[in-house]
Amino acid sequence: MKRNLPVKIRGLITPSEWDENGKILSISISTFNEEEYLVDKDEKGECLLPFLHKEIEIFGLIRKEGADKRIKIKKYRLKKKVDWV
């Protein structure tokens, strides 16, 4: 995988790291094809904390760090849930 490859991914915002008191320290995006991207802890990444377990579409740059894939968010769009009738 190339460094800083621009991508669009879609998935769910999930917690990925907690402190000893259960506070969420970092989040990831779990995609629907079972890939996981750790979200950079910058201003845009921190903005996603209130939206845990929501569906999101992200445009960003990915890079590989060891076995992990990380994404730096450039822009994002929360997907609205539509209930079946």
User: CA-based angle 57:63:67, to the nearest 5?
Assistant: 105
pLDDT of residue 82: 59
- Domain 5-78 annotated CATH 1.10.40.50: no
Beta strands in 5-54 (DSSP E): 5-18, 24-31, 36-39
pLDDT of residue 48: 95
pLDDT of residue 40: 96
pTM: 0.85
Q: Which residue has the higher pLDDT, 3 or 27?
A: 27
Placement of tokens 């929360």 in the chain: 78
Average pLDDT taken over every residue of the chain: 91
